[in-house]
Structure 1
Amino acid sequence: MDRECIAMELPPMPYYITIGLSAFRPGEQHPSRRRLGIFDLLWVVKGTLFIGEDDRQWEVGRGQTLLLLPDRYHYPVKACETETVFYWIHFDFNGSWQQESDEKAIIAVPGRQIWANPYTIRIPQYASPPDFPLAERHLHKMLADSNQHRSAAFWNEQQLFLELLRLLEEKHPGIDVTPALRLAHRTEAYLRQHYQTQVTNSTLAEALHFHPNYIVRCMKEMYQCTPMEYLHEYRLEQAKLLLIKTEWPVAQIAEQTGFQHAPYFSNCFKQYAGISPLRFRKQYSP
C-alpha cells in the first residue's frame, strides 16, 4: 500500500468546488492533464482506473481513492479493462501543503498568530478507506445536491466534503499509530490541560508514566520542540488572548498562564511577541 500523504496546514480549510460521476467503458481511459491548478480526489465505485502522476502509477480499484495534485502531470497508464465508474471531487486549498511519508510526519507547534487554531490534516494520496460505503452515500448525496440552486446546496456540500476528508484521515492506517506519535499527542494534551500549573519534565513523566528523556525525544521528533518549549509558547499564546479579551492587570494574566513572576512574564512576552504586554493590548484597544 502506498504510504504517502498530503499534509495541509490549517487554517485555511480546504474548499470544495464541485463533484462529478464518470463512467468509462472497456477501452476508454482517463484524460491526460497538466497542472490542473486544483486538487482532484477520485473515488472508484466500480472497475479499475489505471492512472499515473509524474513518475508514479496506480491501479485504483473499487473501494479505493486517489488524490491527484494540482501541480503535476496526470495521464492514463492504460485503458480500462472493464466498465469503470468513479466519483471525482475538485477542491482548492490556498494554504501551505506538502507531500510526505506518514512515518515522518511532523506536527507544528502552536502558531504565533493569536487567531489561529493550528492543525495539520493528512490525507493519504492512495487509500482503501474501511468506511467506503459511508463515503459512497455522502458522495451520492453531494452529487444530488449539485443539481440544486447553489445557495441551497452550499452548506450541505461543504459539510459532506469535510466529512469525507475526516474519513480519509481517521481511517488511514499510517496515521496516529506509532508509539512516538501517540505519546506526543498525550504530552500535548497534558500540557494544554495543565499549562496554568507548574509543570516540569519530572511531573510530566510521572503523569504519563514514561521516562522524561523518552518524552522529550518523542516531542522533538513529532513537534520539533521539547515539552517545555511547547508549554512556554502555549502559555504565551494564551496570554495574548487574555490581554485582548480581558482587562486584567499583567500580573494577574501572568499568574493565570503559569508564570510565577510578572516581570519574568513581561520579559518572556517581549522576547516572543516583540513588544511588551501592555503595548500588545493597546494595539487592539479602541
Structure 2
Amino acid sequence: MQSNEPVIYFAAPPFPYFMDCGRSIYSPGDEHPNRRNMGVFDLILVERGTLYIGEEDLEWEVKAGRTLLLLPDRYHYSIRPCEEETSFVWVHFRELGEWGVAGGTEPAFADRDHHAARFGTPPYTIRLPQFGTLPGAPGGSGEGERLLRLIERSLSGAVWERQRLFEELLRSLDLRRREPAGSPAESVAERTESYIRAHYAEPLTAASLSEALHFHYNYLTRCMKRVNGLTPMEYLEECRLEQARLLLLRTESSVAAVAEKVGFETAPYFSRRFAERFGISPLRFRQRHTR
C-alpha cells in the first residue's frame, strides 16, 4: 500500500458488526452500480477479473487479490464497465463506535477511554487500508468464502459464527496485525512491553525507558503505536491499573497502599484514573466484587 492511500480507523470497543455478504459475478460490459450514502461499510474482495470503482474524487482498478472498503457516507460510482468476467465477494458491516479516515496519522477519538471503561478492556484502534491486498489466495478461500457458506444456514444457527469469521477477516486486514513477525518494530515493542511489565511499580519515565532500552523515546512510541496502538506510557498505566485491580480483589490493602504498590504517586490520582478506566471507584469496585 502506498503511503498516501487512505487508512480507515475504527475505535474499539465496540467492534464493527457483520450484517450481510454475498458474491457477485459480472460479465464483460457489466459495471458496479452508482450509489450514495449507503449507510453501511461495503468491503469488496475481488476473486478474479477487475472492478473499476470510484468514491468521491478517488478511483481504483481493483484486480484479483485486492480489497476495497467503500465508506457509508460517500458517493460510489463506476469508472467503466468490466472488460472480463469479474467475481467478487462483498461484505456489509456497521460500526457503533467512532471511525475516521486519514493518510498516515491516527485521528483522535474523543470517546475511546469512555468506551474502554464501559467494556472493561484496553482501547484498540483497527486500521484497515481502503485499498489493500487480501491475505492468502484470492480465489474463493478464507473467511469470505466461509461467510458465504454460513449465509445458507439458518440465522439462529449461524449468527455467532458469522460474527467470529467476520472479525477474523478484519483481523487479517488490520495493518497493525500485518507487522511481520520478527520485524524491528515488533521486536522493539515486545522488549518495551516486557520491560514495563517487569518494572511497572517503579517510577518509570520517558527518559528512564529510553536509557534502559537504548532507543530514543520517540522511536519506542512509534513501534508501540504501530504494533499494539498504545504509547509506552499508556501501556505502563494499563499495567498498573490491571495490577491494582488484582490487588483490590486479592488483598485487604488500603486504596492508598494499592496505589503506591503499583507505582502511582498519589492515591487521589490513582482513584481518578481507575474510575475513568473502569467506570467505578477503587473502593466501590472492591465492595462490589468481594462481598
- TM-score between the two structures when normalised by the length of structure 1: 0.79
Shift of 1:274: 7.9
CA distance in 1, matches of 2:236, 2:146: 46
Give 1:123-142 correspondences, 5 Å limit: 123-133=128-138, 136-142=141-147
User: What secondary structure is seen at the aligned counterpart in 1 of 2:221?
Assistant: helix
* Total equivalences in the alignment: 274
Unmatched runs of 5 consecutive residues or more in structure 2: none
Shift of 1:163: 1.3
CA distance in 2, matches of 1:147, 1:225: 40
CA distance in 1, matches of 2:247, 2:179: 40
Which residue of 1 is the match for residue 267 of structure 2? Answer: 266
Gap change, CA 1:258 and 1:219, over 3 Å in 2: same
User: What secondary structure is seen at the aligned counterpart in 2 of 1:136?
Assistant: coil
CA distance in 2, matches of 1:232, 1:89: 37
Identity %: 38
Equivalent position to 2:49, from 47, 50, 65: 47
8 Å contact from structure 1 (residues 124, 172) kept in 2: no
Which residue of 1 is the match for residue 81 of structure 2? Answer: 79
CA distance in 2, matches of 1:148, 1:225: 39
Shift of 1:55: 0.7
Amino acid across the alignment from 2:79? V
Alignment deviations for residues 34-57 of structure 1 (CA, whole Å, 9 cap, x no partner)? 111111000111110000101100
8 Å contact from structure 1 (residues 184, 215) kept in 2: no
8 Å contact from structure 1 (residues 131, 167) kept in 2: no
Alignment deviations for residues 236-277 of structure 1 (CA, whole Å, 9 cap, x no partner)? 633663476454322441243124xxxx421322564689xx
User: What secondary structure is seen at the aligned counterpart in 2 of 1:111?
Assistant: helix
CA distance in 2, matches of 1:17, 1:137: 18
Alignment deviations for residues 137-157 of structure 1 (CA, whole Å, 9 cap, x no partner)? 322221111011112111221
Alignment deviations for residues 201-244 of structure 1 (CA, whole Å, 9 cap, x no partner)? 4552344222xxx21465289769975x5366436633663476
Amino acid across the alignment from 1:159? R
Equivalent position to 2:40, from 38, 41, 44: 38
Which residue of 2 is the match for residue 153 of structure 1? Answer: 158
CA distance in 1, matches of 2:68, 2:78: 13
8 Å contact from structure 1 (residues 183, 215) kept in 2: no
Stretch of structure 1 that moved more, 192-201 or 181-190? 181-190
Unmatched runs of 5 consecutive residues or more in structure 1: none
CA distance in 2, matches of 1:225, 1:126: 25
Which residue of 2 is the match for residue 122 of structure 1? Answer: 127
Correspondence 1:166 to 2:183 = no
Equivalent position to 2:259, from 240, 254, 261: 254
Alignment deviations for residues 82-118 of structure 1 (CA, whole Å, 9 cap, x no partner)? 111100000111111111224x34798x936542321
CA distance in 1, matches of 2:267, 2:176: 44
8 Å contact from structure 1 (residues 135, 164) kept in 2: no
User: What secondary structure is seen at the aligned counterpart in 1 of 2:82?
Assistant: coil
Correspondence 1:92 to 2:94 = yes
Stretch of structure 1 that moved more, 182-191 or 83-92? 182-191
Correspondence 1:234 to 2:238 = yes
Amino acid across the alignment from 2:242? Q
Amino acid across the alignment from 2:209? L
Which residue of 1 is the match for residue 30 of structure 2? Answer: 28
CA distance in 2, matches of 1:240, 1:62: 50
- TM-score between the two structures when normalised by the length of structure 2: 0.77
CA distance in 2, matches of 1:69, 1:209: 42
CA distance in 1, matches of 2:275, 2:81: 59
8 Å contact from structure 2 (residues 240, 262) kept in 1: yes
Aligned-CA RMSD value: 3.7
